[in-house]
Amino acid sequence: MPANIPKSKLQRGLAGGKTAARAGGKMLKYLVKQPFIDKSRREWEKDRALNESAEAVFKGLCLLKGTALKIAQTLSLEMDVFPDNVRRELAKSYNQVPPMNRVLIKKAVSNAFGAPVADVFKAFDPVAFAAASLGQVHRATSFGGEALAVKVQYPGIAETIRSDVTLIKSLLYPLREYELIRPVIDEIQARLMEEVDYENEAANITYFRKSLKIEGLLVPRVHPESSNRQVLSTSLVEGQPLNQWLQTLPDQDSVNHVAQTLNDLFIESLYGLHKIHADPNPGNFIICPNGLLGLVDFGCVKAFDPAFVDLYRQLPRTAVAGRKDRHFELLHRLKIIKADLDAATREQMYATMYGVGRWIGRLFEVEAFDFRANPDFLAEGKQLTYALHKLRKHVDMNANFVFLDRTRYGLLRLFETMGATVRIQNPYEWS
């Protein structure tokens, strides 16, 4: 890891402990003051304490980087855990380059191959041009003259994952959403253990490059001669990350085209391949000068059983059609709802989960959904989801949904940010 990041378990534990203490202290200060605060100001003071607590957590996450920042990015995309100002700061971390010393990066590459960098690449730029969550990306040139993007893993990052996950749980504990976050972190840990194996990621890239047939989508080619478990070399995808591209104020047709390609990517991957690229942060989507959409960073890929996918695809249709009994039956078969519910609880769960289904169903009721004309769509869904979270003790956590929902919701958030019009209807879910 870069020299300014706490490395040892003790150092990272102390850093996280200080952060947790600061975050918890913000809430403790509010709780002590609460009985003496006028009722008209109480909610405002509570929100301020929660914001200050989240900001303290964010600062600690940025200090630890690596696993910690990866989880923060995931949570900011999927669950709106952090306030708006904190999420804006997290968005910057998608492409920020950590200050990894040039000597250290060359040493990391050399150690990975057991040879000098000059024996591996014709040219190698020791200054990173992009950040991956568990490493950073450098420009290089192969001996055949091909421009490469070389992802180099932070030395020792694999050994920090398990201890960091434990640390993150304690760090996030002061947040009111902690009980909603904990199951997600467990699933993230499983994917992280896959992400630190760059040979596994190389196989993912090769699979998607061969299997995806989507017009306008570019998947890079793996350069196996200069790849191993700690270093991954692919053809360089030139262009701007999605969030930077949006700052250039592209025309609406271009925005809609990119959003539609992203949605088609998700649908074709889930239903055609039963495997999805499950990291929908803007830095992974590169808008190329020739108009192609480049897809990078295949460390986080989630595979699904075909039987699960077949049940899942039926949910939108049953919700829109008003088939409540069938919708509830699907939720049981998908192992979302516990079987032993009393009549009153069943009815409450029935109404709440059907409300969520109807909300998602709105995307399918029109030929193309205009996110610019529906600015409150995700806010409405967030409130419905919170109502569902209150019934968590009656819900089974099917791990399949963690990265599935993360990806689909993350894309919807992007579409809303883009103000895009997207055709959500598709032959798999709407036949």
Helix (H), strand (E), coil (C) string for 135-168: EEEEEEECCCCCEEEEEEECCCHHHHHHHHHHHH
Give CA–CA dist 205/215, Å, rounded.
17
183 belongs to a structural domain: yes
Domain carrying residue 410? 304-422
Give Cα separations from 91 to 48, 268, 302, 349 (angstroms).
Answer: 22, 27, 23, 35
Q: Are residues 264 and 380 in the same domain?
A: no
Q: In whole angstroms, give the CA distance from residue 288 to residue 152.
A: 23
Which of 247, 278, 302 is the last residue before a domain boundary? 302
Task: Based on the fold, state whether residues 163 and 238 are members of the same structural domain.
Answer: no
* DSSP annotation of 8: S
Of 258, 273, 302, which one is at a domain's C-terminal end?
Answer: 302
Same domain, 398 and 352: yes
Predicted local confidence at residue 137, as pLDDT: 93
**Beta strand ranges found along 189-324 (DSSP E):** 217-218, 231-235, 240-241, 275-277, 285-287, 293-295, 301-303
Looking at 271, 302, 333, which one is the last position of a domain?
Answer: 302
pLDDT band at 287 (very low <50, low <70, confident <90, very high): very high
Task: State whether residue 235 is helix, strand or coil.
Answer: strand
Helix (H, G, I), strand (E, B) or coil at 16: helix
Average confidence (pLDDT) over 158-166: 72
Same domain, 66 and 143: no
Do 57 and 176 fall within a single domain?
yes
Whether 428 maps to a domain, the answer reads: no
Give the separation between CA 50 and CA 58, rounded to whole angstroms. 12
Q: Which of 170, 389, 198 is nearest to 301 (CA)?
A: 198
Q: What mean pLDDT do residues 120-138 have? A: 88
Catalytic residue among 264, 279, 340, 405: 279
Q: How confident is the model at residue 12 (pLDDT cuts 50, 70, 90)?
A: very low
Is there a single domain that holds both residue 247 and residue 115? yes
Question: Is residue 138 one of the residues assigned to a domain?
Answer: yes
73 within some domain: yes
CA–CA dist 24, 18 (Å, integer): 10
pLDDT of residue 4: 46
* Predicted confidence (pLDDT) at residue 26 exceeds the cutoff of 50: no
d(CA 265, CA 41): 47
What is the pLDDT, as a whole number, of residue 156?
76
Whether residues 351 and 315 fall in one domain: yes
| Separation between Cα atoms, residue 10 and residue 222, nearest integer Å | 37
How many domains are there within the chain? 3
Mean of pLDDT over the chain: 80
Q: Is pLDDT above 90 for 190? A: no
Mean pLDDT of 275-292: 94
- Same domain flag for 227 and 244: yes
| 430 in any annotated domain | no
Q: How far apart are CA 221 and CA 224, in angstroms?
A: 9
User: Does the residue 429 lie in any domain?
Assistant: no
279 is catalytic: yes
Does one domain contain both 146 and 295?
Answer: yes
44 in the same domain as 182: yes
H helix or E strand, kind and range, residue 95? none
pLDDT one-digit tens code per residue, 403-415: 898 899 999 999 9
CATH of the domain at 251: 1.10.510.10
CB 398 within 8 A of CB 336: yes
Predicted confidence band of residue 305 (pLDDT cuts 50, 70, 90)? very high
Residues 76 and 88 reside in one and the same domain = yes
**424, 362 in Cβ contact below 8 A?**
no
Domain for residue 4, yes or no? Answer: no
Classify 294 as helix, strand or coil: strand
What is the rounded CA–CA span in Å between residue 188 and residue 403?
Answer: 8
Q: pTM for the full model? A: 0.77
Most confident of 9-13, 36-40, 91-95, 288-292: 288-292
Report the 3 state secondary structure along 23-86: HHHHHHHHHHHHHHCCHHHHHHHHHHHHHHHHHHHHHHHHHHCHHHHHHHHHHHHHCCCCCHHH
- Sign (positive or negative) of CA dihedral 170, 174, 179, 180: negative
Asked if 224 and 362 sit in the same domain, the reply is: no
Rounded Cα–Cα distance for residues 205 and 296 (Å): 8
3 within domain boundaries: no
- Minimum mean pLDDT among 181-195, 214-228, 326-340: which range? 181-195
